[in-house]
């Protein structure tokens, strides 16, 4: 399976951080976004950033900036669609998406997605982690896992199906992935590989995690 293109999802409104772009917050010698780029870049054939508003604020990163094509902030699936449309223009078959506020995701993310997608006509895989025992309820996902819908492998071939679903009002990622028999790639190592920065306290924790990692 050839290397996919990578799309960093930064289209959210960051309300718990007071608005603005969480990815541009300082972390170590760079920003959260620069750490995301450094992790994803070696795993993919090319990178783009999904973000709305003035793209000039990301000029320092020298990446294509892809706005949502569906209005009114319909959620991460709009960013996925923007990435799929961009990838189609590049002649790619798949993309991998990651969140712009999650700087410690696995360095083998793409390889594990592709391994899980073996045999699928349309590779469609979401990242998942085990649900802690104390959180297990009758309402947990069909697999008993926590799925992370901003981290996925997506097929360009289904982009028009996704576009139609969004125009019909679909907002929940897993409803669409389940419809197309999407799979989960399990990441069950120590710690939280998909820790994301939502609050000022999370940012302090990320800085501590970075010191431990390096």
Q: pLDDT tens for residues 162-194?
A: 999 999 988 899 999 999 999 999 998 777 899
CATH of the domain at 27: 3.90.550.10
Q: What is the mean pLDDT of residues 134-157?
A: 76
Whose CA is closest to 10, among 81, 87, 66?
66
Q: Average per-residue pLDDT in the chain?
A: 90
Q: pLDDT tens for residues 52-64?
A: 999 999 999 999 9
- What is the tally of structural domains in the chain? 1
* High-pLDDT (> 70) share of the chain, %: 90
Residue 35 CA to its chain's centroid (Å): 14
Whether the pLDDT of residue 90 is over 60: the answer is yes
Q: Please give the pLDDT value at position 214.
A: 56
* 190: DSSP letter: S
Q: Please give the pLDDT value at position 191.
A: 79
* Residue 134 burial (CB count, 10 A): 6
* Structural domain that includes position 118: 5-213
Q: Please give the pLDDT value at position 8.
A: 98
Which pLDDT band, with edges at 50, 70 and 90, does 4 fall under?
very high
Which pLDDT band, with edges at 50, 70 and 90, does 142 fall under?
low
The pair of structure tokens assigned to 202 is 């999370």
The helix (H) or strand (E) run that includes residue 26 is strand 26-27
Q: Please give the pLDDT value at position 134.
A: 55
pTM reported for the whole predicted model: 0.91
Whose CA is closest to 9, among 108, 84, 89, 109?
84
**Region at 72 (left for phi over 0; alpha for psi -120 to 50; beta for the rest):** left
| Residue of higher predicted confidence among 131 and 22 | 22
| Residue of higher predicted confidence among 212 and 5 | 5
Task: Quote the strand ranges of 92-198, DSSP E.
Answer: 94-99, 125-130, 145-155, 183-186
Q: What is the mean pLDDT of residues 74-91?
A: 94
Q: pLDDT tens for residues 100-133?
A: 999 999 999 999 999 999 999 999 999 999 987 6
Query: Looking at 110-119, 136-145, 151-160, 169-178, which range is the least confident one?
Result: 136-145
The helix (H) or strand (E) run that includes residue 59 is none
């Amino acid at each position: 399976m050839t290397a996919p293109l990578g799309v960093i999802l930064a289209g959210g409104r960051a309300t718990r951080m007071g608005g603005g772009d969480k990815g541009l917050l300082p972390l170590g010698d760079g920003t959260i976004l620069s750490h995301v780029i450094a992790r994803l870049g070696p795993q993919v054939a090319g990178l783009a950033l999904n973000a709305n508003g003035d793209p000039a604020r990301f000029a320092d990163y020298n990446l294509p900036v892809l706005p949502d094509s569906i209005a009114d902030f319909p959620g991460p699936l709009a960013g996925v669609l923007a990435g799929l449309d961009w990838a189609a223009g590049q002649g790619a078959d798949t993309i991998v998406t990651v969140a712009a506020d999650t700087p410690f995701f696995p360095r083998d993310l793409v390889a594990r997605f592709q391994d899980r997608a073996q045999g699928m006509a349309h590779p469609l895989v979401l990242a998942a982690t085990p649900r802690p025992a104390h959180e297990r309820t009758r309402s947990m996902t069909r697999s008993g896992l926590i799925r992370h819908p901003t981290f996925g492998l997506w097929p360009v071939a289904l982009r028009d199906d996704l576009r139609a679903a969004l125009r019909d009002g679909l907002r929940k990622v897993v409803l669409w992935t389940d419809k197309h028999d999407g799979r989960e790639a399990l990441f069950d190592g120590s710690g939280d590989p998909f820790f994301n920065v939502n609050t000022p306290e999370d940012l302090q924790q990320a800085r501590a995690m970075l010191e431990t990692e390096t």
